[in-house]
Chain A
């Protein structure tokens, strides 16, 4: 089964407003994905919408958020249910600055319905980090039953390597992610012994599922992913070289 575990919707301030949950699901199906995870910056508020879209379209979907930690490292917390993802969101929100987003500065942050209506604009600045450290976020994610992945470890900003110079011993990740352009032969030795994923980190529709991870799993759920990560039986799509 192929899956893309890192996709942003229009809720992320840096994502294109075309990233409606309904469109994301259609693109993922067209690309042959067996499952996807929605992971907006600091928030899972669009996961109820994509849950309904995925249910209607018959696509397996997990629900998460890309938590920017106190170290300003991007990490993925991914869950089986929207309730878990929203509980994680509340916990992250409580540790975020109480500044109000200026859409002209950072971008719009619409919370939407499954059929593309805008419910409200999230007022927090989702582009900013929270005050919780990687070990804290990891512990909370696992307490809520999720899987925890270090995002795009090869990137020169917002990654464990850019911020901390490597993978911290106390992170307790379930896997580490390579970006769409990363050369895995160079990066696998730097994965800290963790299983490696590759996901699109799509911020616009054309990037949804352009790269993916593959594993022989009985179902697209966090338990199956966790087992595949532990056994290191995941494989990666080719990287993009003309990006």
Chain B
């Protein structure tokens, strides 16, 4: 599923567009150590962690679509890092659970 399609499903805004960004599954987590340990490659990560470290974790686990819940603002350094690392950022007014439900046609991406 492309970042654009994910954005539409969560009623979001594509805060950082990245060409060809897509996901084949979803992982939900707000504890970055948990995300690092369990998120599967090629996932869309649904989280409230709106800071630069999240981009680094996306790079580590191979996630190229980040869904930030509750319309949390994206700090400039996070947006720059995401563009540099090729991580599309979608912001959504939805909660983590509601965003996961909206993306339920995708399977869990975890290991």
Q: Which residues of A contact B (CB under 8 A)?
A: 14, 70, 72, 97, 99, 102, 105-106, 127-129, 131, 156-157
Residues A129 and B32 in contact, CB atoms below 8 Å apart:
yes
- Residues of chain A within 8 A (CB-CB) of B59 are 102, 105
Residue contact A127 to B53, C-beta cutoff 8 Å: yes
Per-residue interface assignment for chain B, residues 19 to 46, with 1 indicating a CB less than 8 Å from any chain A CB and 0 otherwise = 0000000000001110011000000000
Known contacts A157-B50, A157-B51; decide if A72 and B33 are in contact (CB<8 Å): yes
Interface residue B2 (Cβ < 8 Å from any Cβ of A)? no
B33 touches A105 (CB 8 A): no
From B33, B50, B85, contact of A129 by CB (8 A):
B33
B33 in contact with A128 (CB, 8 Å): yes
CB contacts (< 8 Å) of B102 on chain A: these are none
Partner of A128, one of B32, B50, B52, B85: B32
Q: Does B74 contact A (CB under 8 A)?
A: no
Question: How far is A10 from B38 in the complex, measured between Cα atoms in Å?
Answer: 30
B-side contacts of A99, CB under 8 Å: 36, 60
Sample (16) of A-B pairs whose CB atoms are under 8 Å apart: A72-B31, A97-B33, A97-B36, A97-B37, A102-B59, A105-B56, A105-B59, A105-B60, A106-B56, A127-B53, A127-B56, A128-B32, A128-B33, A129-B32, A131-B33, A157-B49
Q: Give bound CA distance, A42 to B8, whole Å.
A: 40
Distance to closest chain A CB from B80 (angstroms): 13
**Cα(A108)–Cα(B32), bound, Å:** 20
What is the CA–CA distance of A14 and B53 in the complex, to the nearest angstrom? 9
Taking CB atoms, residues of chain B closer than 8 Å to A131 are 33
Distance from A9 Cβ to chain B, minimum over Cβ atoms (Å): 19
Residues from chain A with Cβ under 8 Å of B60 in the complex: 99, 105
| Chain B min CB distance to A70 (Å) | 7
Measured between beta carbons, the chain A residues less than 8 angstroms from B37 are 97
A72 vs B49: C-alpha distance in the bound complex, in angstroms? 11
Top-9 shortest CB links A-B: A157-B51, A105-B59, A105-B56, A129-B33, A106-B56, A127-B53, A72-B31, A72-B32, A127-B56
Report Cα–Cα, A165/B64, bound state, in Å. 30
A129 to B32, CA, bound (A): 8
A70 and B33: CB pair below 8 A?
Answer: yes
